[in-house]
Amino acid sequence: MSEPQTVLDCLRFGEGLLRPSPDAKTDARLLAEAFLGAAGVQNLRDEPPKDAKTRYFAALARRKAGEPAQYILNKAWFMGLALYVDERVLIPRQDSETLCEAALRLAKERGYLAALDLCTGSGAIALALAAHSTLAVSAADLSPGALEVAARNAKELGLSIALFQGDLFQAVKGRRFDLIACNPPYLSQSDLAALQPELRWEPTLALDGGRDGLDFYRRLAAEAGGFVNEGGALLMEVGFTQAGSVKALFAQKTEVLLDLNGIRRVVCAYY
């Protein structure tokens, strides 16, 4: 087959290459918009420069091999924010917007002033809280690489958050917050063994929740009281079967929130 010439040819080639993925057409277009240069996908009969086509074909090959489009593009969207992402961080997902929206609502209703995002990764939740509220936001992660990504996102978005490195609450020893949000690793060992190919590109550190997926929730239940102000709240994203088990770990009053798909996605503990 001869090399595709026009933008339309490239799009058709890309879609065909990425089939039978249900996202073949969308991914081919996203990659074209990013790599075909000024021609983009506006003028379908134009011929992109040869180096632009080379970059596009290379990106298609990476996507065909299973690499998530967000890593190829180094971009993911969360709560209206365009975030830089790479293999050092989990890709932000819409599921986590339920956690973020609940945190913003609580902060407004209760007049909270200071918030912490534990296991921040790319900084998605922390930066969304900073962008959409007047909270003083801190963020912590064990991974230095993840904190580098979070710092880059904060700088590019012009948002101010305080970053701390360490193992869960060890990163913020001696500090207290009105609101703590956490999307911890929550996959069990059996979940990890059965991961979809695309998820295997994401950092295991951000996925592995121990034998039953609840290791981090046990630590949160045991330790959070020393870091939440009286009248404060801890909000945790959970796996789709975990809400009951996580809720049972807390002696405090708790509430379970549903995501847009009706899944029990967030557990709130009130102090």
Least confident span in 39-48, 51-60, 227-236:
39-48
Tokens (6 digits) for 107? 């902060």
Structure tokens at 24: 């073949």
Strand pairing category for 228-237 and 177-182: parallel
**What pTM was computed for the model?**
0.93
Q: Amino acid identity, residue 92?
A: P
Q: pLDDT confidence of 39, banded at 50, 70, 90?
A: low
**Is 70 contained in some domain?**
no
Q: Give 106-133 as a 3 state SS string.
A: HHHHHCCCEEEEECCCCCHHHHHHHHHC
User: Does residue 33 register a pLDDT over 70?
Assistant: yes
Crossing angle of helices 7-18 and 24-35, in 10° steps, is 140
For residues 57 and 151, membership in a common domain is answered with: no
* Structural domain includes residue 2: no
**31 lies in the same domain as 124:** no
The yes-or-no verdict on residue 4 having pLDDT over 70 is yes
- Asked whether residue 85 falls in the same domain as residue 161, the answer is yes
Mean pLDDT of 29-56: 84
128 and 26, same domain (yes or no): no
**Whether 42 and 164 share a structural domain:** no
Specify whether 139 is located in the same domain as 97.
yes
Structural domains in the chain (count): 2
CA dist 65 and 201 (Å) reads 11
20 and 96 co-located in one domain: no
Among 41, 65, 89, residue at a domain's last position: 65
Q: Are residues 119 and 233 in the same domain?
A: yes
Domain co-membership, 61 together with 95: no
**Do the beta carbons of residue 129 and residue 112 sit within 8 Å?**
no
Instruction: Give dist(CA 257, CA 126) in Å, integer.
Output: 20
Instruction: Check residue 197 and report its DSSP letter.
Output: G
pLDDT digits (tens, 9 = 90+) for 177-229: 999 999 999 999 999 988 888 888 999 999 999 999 999 999 999 999 999 99
Q: At 270, is the secondary structure helix, strand, or coil?
A: strand
Q: Residue 180 and residue 51: Cα distance in Å, rounded? A: 47
Rounding to the nearest 10 degrees, give the CA dihedral for residues 185, 186, 188, 191: -90
CA–CA separation, 122 and 231 (whole Å): 28
What's CA 49's distance to the chain center, in Å? Answer: 34
pLDDT digits (tens, 9 = 90+) for 232-266: 999 999 999 999 999 999 999 999 999 999 999 99
Domain assignment of residue 54, given as a range:
7-65
Q: Which residues pair with 256 in a beta bridge?
A: 267
What percentage of the chain exceeds 90 in pLDDT?
89
> 44 and 95 share a domain?
no
The answer on 216 and 192 residing in a single domain is yes
pLDDT tens, residue by residue, 129-161: 999 999 999 999 999 999 999 999 999 999 999
Please give the pLDDT value at position 205.
92
